[in-house]
Structure formats: C-alpha cells, structure tokens
Amino acid sequence: MAFNFKEVMNKPERLAPGHRMCAGCGATIAVRTVLRALKPEDKAVIGNATGCLEVSSFMYPYTAWEDSYIHNTFENAGATLSGVETAYHALKKRGRLSENYKFITFGGDGGTYDIGLQSLSGAMERNHDLVYVCYDNEAYMNTGIQRSSATPMYADTTTTPVGSHSNGKMQNRKDLAAIIANHNIPYVAQSTLIGTMKDLYEKSEKAIYTPGAAFLNVMAPCPRGWRYDTPDIMNICKLAVETCYWPLFEVVEGKWILNYEPKKKLPIEDFLKTQGRFKHLFKPENEQLLVQYQEEVDRRWEELLFKCSR
C-alpha cells in the first residue's frame, strides 16, 4: 500500500498527551509513529520495559496508552509479552475471544541491548507474533545518562565522563539489529525519525503485520543526554543517516536490504558536532580521535553494504 501521509496522519492517536516525558523527547515521537501503523480496527496490547517511557506514560492513576498496556520489570519486556501473546492464542483456540489483537513492546536501549537482552532473545527465538521496538537513545537516560552498550564511542556520559584522563566511552557500540537478525526471525529493521516518518511508519506496518517475531531498532535522540537544543532533533536524525552513522535497513526473511544510500556521504563530524556529548572531540588535540571515528563508521558501513549486496 502506497504511503499517503495525510491519510496516515488522519488515523486516531493511540498515545494520549499528558504523559511526563521531557519536552522534545524522541521516544514518544517514535512511539506515536509505530502505533499509528496499527489498523484502527485492530486492538493491541502494548508492553514496556522499565525506563523513561514507562515511568512517564503510566504514572498511577494516569495512563497515556489508549490500548491495553503491561509493564512488568526492566529486564523482561520480551518474556512478558510472550506470555500475553500466548494467552491470546490460548483464548482464541478455546473460543473465549474473537477480536484481533496485535502485540508491540517498547524498551529503551538499557532494557533492550543490556539488561533485557536475554528475555528479548528468547522471545525472538521462539518467534512469538509480536514486535519489539527499541527506542535507542544511546544511554540509560532514566537514571541520568549512564553509558549502555548502545552508547557510541567517546560519548560523554555520567559513567564515562570526559576528564583529564578520559575521552568518554572507550568502546564501540553493540550492533543489536545484526544480533537480532541472526535469530533468523521474519523481520528486522533499523529506522529513525525522518521527515514524514514514512520510513519508520512503513517498517512498523511490516513489523506488526508480518506473522512471527519482528524487531525494530529506532534511534530516538534524547535532548538532555545528548545535549542539544530540543528543536534540533529532526536535523540530528537526518545527519545520523546522511553520515551513515545510523543507516536505514531491513532484514526480511534473512535478506539484508539497504533502504537509503546518501548521494554524498557526509563526514561523521557533521553528526557529532550537533551534540554536547561529543564536544571534547573537537579540541585540537583530539583530531586523531575523529579520524579513528570516521574509520569505524566507514568500516561498519562497508560491512552493511556487503551484507546488502548479497
């Protein structure tokens, strides 16, 4: 189905306002788009790992979710929704339910890349008919910007602070989309917030309506953790894609597909300089770190191109 922006925006809102996420939060922009991909006639159960999104969207007695919603703990969103999805099949089989339900669970990079990885891996491997959406803001933001395995190299976080003996996080970020793709599930995609959200919307639609397990990795900037002015979010996401820092791709039934290739790949500095967490990299003495950064981005981009060319 062709993407009709006006029609898409006309669909009912499934994340109500009044949640307590920070002004300018990238996570709720992502969530709104994912939920909009549900057919209005379909019901859904939403799962959520502990994190900013959870503590801000369901503060007793206020829920921002129009659909049924379950938060269990930080590390078990995958398993919890496995149980919900299985209950759905049990109730349908036994004639106690006739409506159609879809299952979507959200987790930050903390709940997904790190503490919840086992639970996610189990849910994916068992191929439950659900979508796990990671809103990746590249650090533990809910507890105050601590590094995660999704935090990029050299980012200044509160557990990898830049100092006279430190240039921030010293390790590369984990490639979670590839890890999940290697579970050989029907659908994996990486996306972020771009323009009309066509990319994220269409991937969400495929993820939700492809039978079996699906995983979406969505870069969702955090203005406080990344240190930029809230209005800049869309520009930052665009630069992440144009520098090939955050490529847009899908893995459909094991086939890697590149969704966008910049006509002219921008230097990584263009992305890094938009954010205070990388400010130290632009000191004259850190010139070599930028060279190294570019090499790593290039290496990973080439690897992705190779995967997508097969």
Partner 1 sequence: MSQATDITKINEQSPYYDITPGNQIYGGGGSRRFNTGEWRTQTPVIDWDKCTQCLLCTPVCPDSSIPVSNGRREDFDYDHCKGCGICEKVCSFGAITMKEGM
Partner 2 sequence: MSIRERMSGNEAVAHAIKQINPDVMPAFPITPSTEIPQMVSSFIANGEIDTEFIPVESEHSSMSATMGANAAGARALTATSSCGLAYMWELLYVAASDRLPVVLALVNRALTGPININCDHSDSMGARDAGWIQIYAENNQEAYDNFIQAFRIAEHPDVRLPLMACQDGFITSHAVENIELIEDDKVKEFVGEYKPENYLLNPDMPMAVGPYANSPFYMETKMNQRLAMENAKKVILEVAEEFEKMSGRKYGFFEEYKLDDADYAIVIIGSAAGTTKDAVDELREQGIKAGLLKIRVFRPFPGEAIANALKNVKAIAIMDRAESFSACGGPIGSELKAALFDLRITSTVVNYFYGIGGRDYTVAEAKAVYQDLINYVSGTADVENFKYIGLRK
Residues in the site for partner 1, rule: CB under 8 A? Answer: 5-7, 9-10, 13, 15-29, 32-33, 36, 57-69, 193, 195-197, 223, 229-235
On whether the CB atoms of residues 146 and 158 are closer than 8 A, the answer is yes
Beta bridge partners of 275: none
CB of 82 to partner 2, least distance (A): 5
CB of 268 to partner 2, least distance (A): 37
Q: What are phi and psi of 288, to 5 degrees?
A: -65, -30
CB of 276 to partner 1, least distance (A): 17
Indicate the length of the chain as a whole number: 310
CB of 152 to partner 1, least distance (A): 22
User: What residue 6 binds from partner 2, partner 1, none (CB within 5 to 8 A, per partner kind)?
Assistant: partner 1
**Angstrom distance (rounded) from CA 96 to CA 89:** 10
What H or E segment, with its residue span, contains residue 53? helix 52-57
Q: Which is nearer to partner 2, 41 or 285 (CB)?
A: 41
CB of 283 to partner 2, least distance (A): 40
- The one-letter amino acid code at 237 reads C
| Burial per residue of 123-132, b for 16 or more beta-carbon CB atoms within 10 angstroms, e otherwise | bbebebbbbb
Q: At how many degrees (to 10) do helices 117-125 and 77-93 cross?
A: 30
DSSP label of 44: E
Q: Which is nearer to partner 1, 135 or 154 (CB)?
A: 135
Q: In a 10 Å sphere around its CB, with 0-12 CB exposed, 13-18 middle and 19+ buried, how is residue 137 labelled?
A: buried
User: What residue 125 binds from partner 2, partner 1, none (CB within 5 to 8 A, per partner kind)?
Assistant: partner 2
Tokens of 17: 């306002």
Q: Which is nearer to partner 2, 92 or 224 (CB)?
A: 92
Q: Which is nearer to partner 1, 59 or 291 (CB)?
A: 59
Beta bridge partners of 256: 251
Q: Which is nearer to partner 2, 125 or 269 (CB)?
A: 125
Q: What are phi and psi of 68, to 5 degrees?
A: -60, 145
**Footprint of partner 2 on this chain (CB under 8 A)?**
43, 45, 47, 54-56, 58-61, 63, 65-73, 75-76, 78-84, 86-91, 93-94, 96-97, 99, 101, 118-119, 121-122, 125-126
User: What residue 127 binds from partner 2, partner 1, none (CB within 5 to 8 A, per partner kind)?
Assistant: none
User: What residue 17 binds from partner 2, partner 1, none (CB within 5 to 8 A, per partner kind)?
Assistant: partner 1
Q: Which is nearer to partner 1, 57 or 243 (CB)?
A: 57
On whether the CB atoms of residues 105 and 78 are closer than 8 A, the answer is yes
CB of 309 to partner 1, least distance (A): 32
CB of 120 to partner 2, least distance (A): 10
